[in-house]
């Protein structure tokens, strides 16, 4: 009898032990990476150039072993829990102090107004807090930090200086120009050439990282027409600059929503990249989009055309509300423009929604 009493619990512990070890090891390594990121930030602030050191395949696999999708869904449910009125101010004040949130810009400054963390994260701003620049053709779609920008070269895009990812892996297979109603593109062999619809134009990119303390909504960066949405289920690894410097093709691993269409100069796309605790990406005009679903097929994607349901697509005006994150993540712009397009940016600078990115 004594053997029966002891063998059942031992077997149960043995079944669970591999999972616990995997989570503990992966979580501990993720914590170690956070500490390393902090040291790198301190070196950069001191003006010391940090050499790029990419993660090996086993390090990426170990990081991916952390159940970030499950944790992000749990975090999302926790965010929906209504806080007692007496607890709201202490909880939100701690968050404000930790991440440097400027509540004077919020449409509602009273912390007792926000029933849960989700409402607080998605707080709206006062109308005059973010004036939209009218002098430049492309504005910042969100608050954040500029990680990288410039011309796309050799079908590779820089996520941070010295670390690239494949343009085709990031956007997925090319969509026929006839479906998007673009002007006929010049014939080209490379994926990059297929995206350029007008001869003499170049392809440009800009990466904006949204920190947890930033304004969490994002807006239309220019006047354009959204024709297509492509949703990539994937991992939800951190996308802070330290991790982006460490993991090659990080944005291709993570869940993301790619909106493609056209503006006056040709191809235009905006991609919202998910991250840890940011499983929820919402696009206001797309009610069929559901991110961080419990069931997904690795390496898959699903498409939705706004042309077939609405012949004109979805017209967006510069500065118009487009979507939101649940906590903060990354926006990647990839677009076509003439060769004399100029960015008005510096890598690493802080930027706010409505400020100029670039113009002709």
Instruction: Please confirm, yes or no, whether 166 is among the known catalytic residues.
Output: no
Among candidate residues 77, 74, 89, the one with its CA nearest the CA of residue 120: 89
Among candidate residues 266, 253, 184, 193, the one with its CA nearest the CA of residue 227: 266
**Rounded distance between C-alpha atoms, residue 257 and residue 264, angstroms:** 23
Numbers of helices and strands, H then E, in the chain: 11, 17
Instruction: Please confirm, yes or no, whether 143 is among the known catalytic residues.
Output: yes
Buried-exposed string 270-292: b where 16+ CB fall within 10 A, e elsewhere = bbbbbbbbbbbbbbebbeeeebb
**Rounded distance between C-alpha atoms, residue 216 and residue 353, angstroms:** 10
Among candidate residues 34, 351, 330, the one with its CA nearest the CA of residue 170: 330
Question: Edge-to-edge strands of the sheet including 138-139?
Answer: 138-139, 356-359, 342-343
**Rounded distance between C-alpha atoms, residue 264 and residue 153, angstroms:** 22
- The rounded radius of gyration (Å) of the Cα atoms in the chain is 22
Q: Which residues lie below 8 Å from residue 273, measured CB to CB, with a gap of 6+?
A: 239, 251, 254, 255, 256, 329, 330, 331, 332
Out of 216, 219, 253, 265, pick the active-site residue.
219
What's the residue count for the chain?
Answer: 360
N-terminal to C-terminal alpha carbon distance within the chain: 83
Instruction: Please confirm, yes or no, whether 329 is among the known catalytic residues.
Output: yes
Out of 37, 143, 262, 286, pick the active-site residue.
143
**Rounded distance between C-alpha atoms, residue 58 and residue 46, angstroms:** 31
Among candidate residues 77, 284, 113, the one with its CA nearest the CA of residue 103: 113
Q: Which residues lie below 8 Å from residue 316, measured CB to CB, with a gap of 6+?
A: 220, 223, 224, 225, 226, 322
Q: Which residues are catalytic?
A: 143, 219, 329
């Amino acid at each position: 009898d004594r053997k029966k009493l002891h063998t059942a619990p031992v077997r149960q512990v043995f079944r669970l032990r591999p999972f616990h070890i995997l989570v503990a090891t992966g979580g501990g390594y993720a914590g170690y990476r956070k500490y390393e990121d902090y040291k790198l930030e301190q070196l950069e602030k001191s003006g010391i150039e940090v050499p790029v050191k990419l993660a090996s395949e086993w390090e990426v696999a170990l990081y991916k072993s952390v159940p970030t999708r499950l944790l992000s869904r749990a975090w999302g449910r926790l965010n929906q829990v209504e806080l007692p009125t007496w607890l709201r101010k202490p909880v939100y004040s701690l968050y404000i102090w930790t991440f440097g949130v400027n509540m004077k810009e919020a449409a509602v400054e009273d912390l007792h107004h926000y029933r849960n963390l989700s409402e607080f994260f998605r707080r709206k701003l006062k109308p005059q807090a973010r004036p939209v620049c009218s002098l430049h053709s492309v504005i910042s779609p969100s608050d954040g930090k500029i990680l990288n920008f410039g011309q796309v070269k050799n079908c590779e895009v820089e996520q941070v200086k010295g670390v690239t990812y494949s343009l085709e892996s990031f956007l997925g297979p090319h969509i026929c120009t006839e479906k998007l109603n673009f002007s006929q593109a010049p014939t080209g062999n490379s994926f990059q050439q297929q995206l350029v619809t007008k001869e003499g134009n170049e392809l440009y990119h800009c990466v904006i990282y949204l920190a947890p303390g930033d304004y969490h909504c994002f807006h239309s960066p220019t006047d354009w027409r959204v024709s297509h949405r492509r949703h990539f289920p994937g991992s939800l690894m951190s996308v802070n600059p330290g991790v982006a410097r460490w993991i090659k093709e990080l944005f291709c691993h993570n869940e993301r929503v790619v909106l493609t269409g056209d503006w006056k100069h040709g191809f235009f796309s905006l991609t919202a990249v998910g991250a840890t605790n940011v499983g929820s990406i919402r696009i206001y005009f797309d009610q069929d989009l559901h991110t961080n679903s419990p069931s997904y097929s690795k390496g898959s994607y699903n498409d939705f055309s706004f042309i077939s349901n609405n012949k004109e697509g979805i017209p967006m005006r510069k500065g118009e509300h487009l979507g939101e994150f649940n906590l903060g993540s990354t926006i990647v712009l990839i677009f076509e423009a003439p060769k004399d397009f100029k960015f008005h940016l510096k890598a690493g600078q802080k930027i706010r929604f409505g400020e100029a990115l670039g113009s002709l």
